[in-house]
Structure 1
Amino acid sequence: MRHFVFIDETGEANVNKPDPRFNIFVLCGVIFREDHYNKFDNELKGLKLKYFGNEDVVFHSYHMRNKLGVFKIFQDEQVLSYFYSDIENIFTQSNYKIIACIVNKDDYRKKYPKANFAYEDSLKFLCERAMSCIGHKHNENTLHFCLEKRGGRKDRELKKLYTKIIRFGTDYKSTMEFKLCHPTLFFRGKNQNINGLQFSDLCAYPIARKVLTPTIPQPTYELFKNKIYSNWQGRKKGYGLKYFP
């Protein structure tokens, strides 16, 4: 059975562009077993059809929070309430796991003053944790990683990095262990309307807000916090949540 890891981010990956209001970068991955993803995908399509009349709507956290474009319907508090209730069921009842890397840009610059690879470092961590999350009792090429397209050069650089990782391993995972991963890093555009990528986007921002303002309630985070990969004691830090550096 294949497993899919859908990866999206929130915040600016360039550590040399500090933002006092949002000075972290979060790369979030949502892991689905193939059959579980198919069920989730159908349910999210049904949700889009119910509220927007078609399945072509692309969920984007920023536009949804600010009720922009097609999401102006959320200005109606009753519609918003019904929508929250329905999507809450998808968050809580779907079968998936979350992994995320949280980069503090100030700490990154201090520790690595000549480096600027927050995205690349985070991707490596997510690859390692996805492997640990699903375990190693699977066939080769079981784990498929899917990212949103960014542009030719950036995508080529990430493909090159990914190939290097699975070919030579990392400090924590061997080349043999990386045979679990499919050799191709998959990219999909927004126009392809991949619900897994959109769901990762919806999870990334609440994780960032929970880190930035831990005392302020984050209702969406509460919906999926039990889906974050953890050890047998329920510890998320160092497992599903990697804080770096």
Structure 2
Amino acid sequence: MTYSDYVIYVDESGDHTLTAIDRDYPVFVLDFCIFRKDSYANVVAPQVQAFKFAHFGHDIVVLHEHEIRKQKPPFVFLKSRDKRDAFMDGLNRLIEQADFTIVAAAIHKERLTQRYAAPGNPYEMALTFCMERAHAFLRDRGQHNMTTHIVVERRGKREDDELELAFRRIRDGANYVGEMPGFEIIFADKKTNSAGLQLADLTARPIGRHVLDPAQPNRAWEIIEPKLRRSPAGAVRGWGLKVFP
């Protein structure tokens, strides 16, 4: 087996249910963060560890966007303005400097249910869009026929089994690209202290907020936007970010 030079870490923002749509956040975002393995191992992961040592004294803490935003343990210290400013400045700088490419899909659930009598599963739609674009990213670099692992967090046996089935169906040809045999899916325990999974978690929600209200000031989006895959002419929509419908 020949491994590619890349690894992909995945996280999501919002839920993919269509029965009870959150009016404040009616989108589902799937976020693929694509890293070159040498850069990830030698630069990105050590920088994430160094950031944790600086703010916590150890590297066991897991950086979760929701807990940071809500200032839940172990992020209660963020209630202090000075500490919060220093932490967020450092975190923004960490993400800004980290070398990775984002391919994301945002499914606008309200529009989806309004436009289609029998809408598809938002997760499977987003997964298809992201896999197609990640495959194109790898193809442009001559890496698409090598094995590239897509790492996702475990959510529960039923959900994981459904995701693996959808993944294999998409990989084997249920998409606009055709077969994508190089992709393999890896399920990681939620407690896995993976720098890549944490960066995917930290970058997913700002994409959703931007999709819902592009005019709203969004510092996180300003940092993330340059990392999105682009067309040769510099276009992001359809290349690094697919919004549907």
TM over 0.5, shorter chain: yes
Deviation, structure 1 residue 133: 1.7
Retained in 2: the 8 A contact 1:4–1:143? yes
Letter in 2 for 1:205: R
Partner of 2:95: 91
Partner of 1:58: 62
Deviation, structure 1 residue 44: 0.5
The counterpart of 2:118, out of the listed 99, 114, 120, is: 114
Q: Output aligned runs, 1:1-245, within 5 Å.
A: 1-38=4-41, 39-134=43-138, 135=140, 137-138=142-143, 140-167=145-172, 169-175=173-179, 178-181=180-183, 184-245=184-245
Deviation, structure 1 residue 136: 5.1
* C-alpha RMSD over aligned residues: 1.6
Deviation, structure 1 residue 116: 4.5
> 2:120, 2:69 → 1: CA distance?
30
> 2:174, 2:239 → 1: CA distance?
16
> 1:206, 1:17 → 2: CA distance?
22
Letter in 1 for 2:91: I
SS of structure 2 residue aligned to 1:173:
coil
Deviation, structure 1 residue 173: 1.1
Gaps of 5+ in 1: none
Deviation, structure 1 residue 139: 6.4
SS of structure 2 residue aligned to 1:179:
coil
Q: CA 1:139/1:62 → structure 2, altered by over 3 Å: closer, same or farther?
A: closer
Q: Which moved more, 1:75-84 or 1:62-71?
A: 75-84
Deviation, structure 1 residue 115: 3.8
- Please give the per-residue CA displacement for 1:145-197, whole angstroms capped at 9, x wherever unaligned: 11110110111111112122222x2442122xx1332xx31111121112211
SS of structure 2 residue aligned to 1:99:
strand
Letter in 2 for 1:30: C
SS of structure 2 residue aligned to 1:69:
coil
> 1:159, 1:202 → 2: CA distance?
24
* Number of residue equivalences: 240
> 1:129, 1:101 → 2: CA distance?
10
Q: CA 1:139/1:172 → structure 2, altered by over 3 Å: closer, same or farther?
A: closer
> 2:55, 2:144 → 1: CA distance?
40
- Please give the per-residue CA displacement for 1:29-79, whole angstroms capped at 9, x wherever unaligned: 111011121121111011111111211111111110121111111122222
SS of structure 2 residue aligned to 1:185:
strand
Retained in 1: the 8 A contact 2:132–2:175? no
> 2:116, 2:46 → 1: CA distance?
44
- Please give the per-residue CA displacement for 1:198-222, whole angstroms capped at 9, x wherever unaligned: 1111111111111122222111111
Letter in 1 for 2:149: H
Deviation, structure 1 residue 141: 3.4
